[in-house]
Amino acid sequence: MCVAFAKGTIQGVVGRMKKKRRIFSRRNIVVLLVVSTAGLLLFAFIPVGFFAYFVLIGPIQDARLQKRLLCNADHRTLLEECRRLSKQVVIDNPDKGKEEPMGVVVMRVPDSELSKFRLVRRIGGRVFVNIDGVVSIEGGGTMRHFGVDAYPEDFREPFSNYDYGNKELVPGLWYYDDRYNRDNNYDKVIDGMLRRNRK
């Protein structure tokens, strides 16, 4: 009886060892290695992706948008389109003309609503209309912030010493760029781009 008990115990231990060995089979080890390698690569590529966007891709997209705004666009046509867009979005807004600081966004205009505004759509960028009907076509969002503001014909300054932007492209259409704050000679760069537009 003792021999049978010992034999049964040994067989049970051997069976459990075989099951444990199955956990560490070649297939399971390969799967574990593949999953852990994929996890490590994903963990490593997230910061690389952020770096690539903010340092490499983002500035290239910003430069292209800036070129479309300053060098390729007909500024009078752009202003007219923005004013039509403003009238479409801010019709009978009860808050229009209130003495509020600018920057209160009524809405970001979705791409689907820009189909009638070919030049605005072709330029690209994010399009906003604020509470006073000012249309902003905005670029940046990586390491800089720039764009144009198109003011409605009946625009009233919400407060004294109101800052329209950095450079008036045509009466009612202003370019703004935070690089003006960091570079005293940046106006010359913008003037050079505008000269290319006039050729």
Give a yes or no: residue 7 inside a domain: no
% of the chain with per-residue pLDDT over 70? 68
Give a yes or no: residue 21 inside a domain: no
Q: Report the greatest alpha carbon distance in the chain.
A: 107
- The alpha-carbon radius of gyration of the chain (Å, integer) is 31
DSSP state of 134: -
Whether residue 8 is predicted with pLDDT greater than 70 in this model: the reply is no
Give a yes or no: residue 19 inside a domain: no
Whether residue 159 is predicted with pLDDT greater than 60 in this model: the reply is yes
Q: Residues 66-95: pLDDT tens digits?
A: 898 888 889 999 999 999 988 887 654 555
| Domain span at 127 | 49-198
Mean pLDDT, the chain, whole residue set:
76
Whether residue 151 is predicted with pLDDT greater than 80 in this model: the reply is yes
Ranking 80-89, 135-144, 155-164 by mean pLDDT, the lowest is: 135-144
The Cα-based distances of 140 to 81, 108, 143 in angstroms read 22, 16, 7
Give a yes or no: residue 154 inside a domain: yes
Give a yes or no: residue 83 inside a domain: yes
Give a yes or no: residue 41 inside a domain: no
C-alpha atoms less than 13 angstroms from C-alpha of 101 in its C-beta half-sphere: 1
Enter the pTM of the model.
0.66
Average pLDDT over residues 155-174: 88
Domain count, the chain: 1
Average pLDDT over residues 54-74: 83
Give a yes or no: residue 129 inside a domain: yes
